[in-house]
Amino acid sequence: MTSQISPTVAARRPAAAAALLIGTALAVGAVVPLTAQESSGTAVTPEAPLTSHEDGRPASFAELAEQVSPAVVNITTTTLVAGGIGPMPPLPEGFEDFFENFRNNDGTPRRSSALGSGFVISPDGYIVTNNHVIEGADEIRVEFYSGETMDAEIVGTDPNTDIALLKVDGTDLPHVEFGDSDGPDAEVGDWVLAMGNPLGQGFSVSAGIISARNRALSGTYDDYIQTDAAINQGNSGGPLFNMRGEVIGVNTAILSPNGGSIGIGFAMSSAVVKDVVAQLKEYGETRRGWLGVRIQDLTPDMVDAIEGLASAHGALVTDVPEGPAAEAGIRSGDVILTFEGNQIDDTRELVRLVGAAPVGETVTLEVLRDGQVMPIEVTLGRREEAEASILPASTQNGAPRSSEMLGLSLSEPAPELLQKFGLDENTEGLVVTAVDPESNAADKGLQPGDVIAEASQTPVRTVAELKEVIDAAREAGRKSVLLLIRRAGEPRFVALPIDEAG
């Protein structure tokens, strides 16, 4: 069975369905509250790491669990689901009674419940959890370690990081504080403690180590801590503690072939969560910085093709639509090396740094252009307002002519060619009509219908112009040429060896 990334929210379902729901956790029976703890208006974070061995290994996690557990909560959500699933097909003999509970053909709405976890971050009742725990919920009920329950309201959500902020009507509630997920108490190999409501069984603690940091799953702003502490369905939204009792992550997902823990769990880092929570608390929504560029990672074979580039570090600008970057003078082909003094290793890092910067703030970037590093100041916009308005630059037509080079059959745009590949009538550049399957271009994924818009950061409109750029690169001693490729309007850079230029 193929392993898959699964969110760790647990659905409450009939016990009889357990055998049929592979990969889905089940909560059978009621949650049993554990021993009541006295509430306090102060943070429950220990003052020093809880260790007893000379090598730093804790003899027991009991003291840490006792101190932080009053701030961890179980979350139950209820959603009204429309009835009327329609007629069911004929069932094998003996299965009619089993499936009777799933029939609902009279259109009557029914309630569906799900379970998750969370933790209190302030004495007045702000609670952090995962967005997928409470998404679509009509009612949210929070149960404290003491057994007390309260109704919660949604303050704000951020689907991009899967974080939600809730609020209960409380005072002097026990709470925990965020720690530094990039700091010395969150190194690979350090002990961590996960808490939550696995499989709907109530308050639970598991221990492990940090297996890896800076993991990405599928989101733009992903910065996950990987841990082997047991995380299961229902742990979603629960805290991942360091040995100081500080929250360094929010348990979010697991990698598993069967829906159960196999020691590969993921917690969104506090470095991301703290900023998101602060914005949700202040605005009820996120307000991320926006630079207004399309970017891609650099590859080793691009280093030789870009003048002045020493290594494959930075973010390569592929397009600059209308927006803050265009107004500041950033161009396609620029390599962004630093952001506010922070070195940029890849596009992920740049996106996170820009997103965390305040909207309207003027920031300084170091950009490599034509072999020279230059500072550029940009006043950031707001991503949420601008995302939908970014459009690919318009292009214009050229005269029809074809040739073969770089392992590609290339043609200057002609009406019949544009129609064949479904390209815009104003397409500007050279159209790829065929790709040599044994060429480097094929290895890089180029395909018929792609359009070469630039070569070595110079616009090319004719085969002759492309040949001039390739000849100039060869005379300069370069081994490859950097091409800007557009596919369905989306740009990306590809470096191809000049020895295939013919």
Q: Is the pLDDT of residue 447 over 70?
A: yes
Q: Is the pLDDT of residue 103 over 70?
A: no
Q: Is the pLDDT of residue 398 over 70?
A: no
Report pLDDT digits (tens) over 269-281.
999 999 999 999 9
Q: Is the pLDDT of residue 266 over 60?
A: yes
Provide the CB-side half-sphere exposure for 490 (13 A, CA).
Answer: 4
Six token digits for residue 364? 């300084």
- The mean pLDDT value for 13-38 works out to 28
Under DSSP, is residue 102 helix (H, G, I), strand (E, B) or coil?
Answer: helix
Q: Which amino acid is at 403?
A: S
Whether residue 80 contacts residue 109, with contact meaning beta carbons closer than 8 Å, is answered with yes
What is the dotted CATH code of the domain comprising 402-500? Answer: 2.30.42.10
Least confident range from 92-101, 246-255, 481-490: namely: 92-101
Q: b/e string for 244-258 if b means 16 or more Cβ within 10 A? A: bbbbbbbbbbbbbee
What does the DSSP 8-state code read for residue 323?
S
Query: Which of 114, 94, 110 lies closest to 102, judged by CA?
Result: 110
Report pLDDT digits (tens) over 57-71.
567 899 999 999 999
Query: Which of 387, 382, 413 lies closest to 399, judged by CA?
Result: 413
Q: Known catalytic residue: 394? A: no
Q: Known catalytic residue: 132? A: yes
- The mean pLDDT value for 154-158 works out to 94
Domain boundaries, the chain: 1-286, 289-389, 402-500
Cα–Cα distance, 289 to 353 (Å, whole number):
9
Residues of each annotated binding site: 132, 162, 234-236
Residues of each annotated binding site for substrate: 132, 162, 234-236
Please, what is the Cα angle at 286 between 285 and 291, to 5 degrees?
150
Report pLDDT digits (tens) over 378-395.
999 998 887 544 333 333
Under DSSP, is residue 464 helix (H, G, I), strand (E, B) or coil?
Answer: helix
Question: Left, alpha or beta for 408 (phi > 0: left; psi -120 to 50: alpha)?
Answer: beta
Please, what is the Cα angle at 296 between 218 and 489, to 5 degrees?
95
Q: Which of 79-83, 151-155, 305-309, 445-449 has the highest mean pLDDT?
A: 151-155
Q: Known catalytic residue: 190? A: no
Q: Is the pLDDT of residue 324 over 80?
A: yes
Six token digits for residue 375? 């500072």
264: which residues sit within 8 A by CB, 6+ positions away? 211, 226, 228, 254, 255, 256
Q: Is the pLDDT of residue 40 over 50?
A: no
Torsion, Cα 40 42 45 50, to 10 degrees, reads -60
For the domain with range 289-389, which CATH number is right: 3.40.140.10, 2.30.42.10, 2.60.120.10, 3.10.50.40?
2.30.42.10
- The mean pLDDT value for 78-90 works out to 59
Catalytic residue among 6, 117, 132, 450: 132
Q: What is the mean pLDDT of the chain?
A: 80
- The mean pLDDT value for 9-17 works out to 40
Q: Which amino acid is at 211?
A: S
The count of residues in the chain is: 502
Whether residue 289 contacts residue 361, with contact meaning beta carbons closer than 8 Å, is answered with yes
Cα–Cα distance, 497 to 157 (Å, whole number):
47
CATH class of 1-286: mainly beta
Q: Which amino acid is at 440?
A: N
What phi, psi does 38 have (nearest 5°)? -70, 130
Cα–Cα distance, 268 to 163 (Å, whole number):
9
Please report the beta strands in 148-215, taking only residues with DSSP state E, as ranges in sequence order: 149-158, 163-168, 191-196, 204-215
Residue with structure tokens 């815009």? 424
Cα–Cα distance, 83 to 103 (Å, whole number):
9
Q: Is the pLDDT of residue 31 over 60?
A: no
Whether residue 410 contacts residue 431, with contact meaning beta carbons closer than 8 Å, is answered with yes
Catalytic residue among 39, 117, 162, 206: 162
Same fold, 1-286 and 289-389: no
Least confident range from 42-51, 133-142, 193-202, 230-239: namely: 42-51
- Return the pLDDT at 104: 55
Containing 40, the helix (H) or strand (E) segment is none
Cα–Cα distance, 469 to 476 (Å, whole number):
11
Least confident range from 192-206, 357-371, 417-431: namely: 417-431
Catalytic residue among 6, 236, 270, 480: 236
Give percent of the chain with pLDDT exceeding 70.
78
What is the helix, strand, coil percentage profile of the chain, to 5?
A: 20, 35, 45
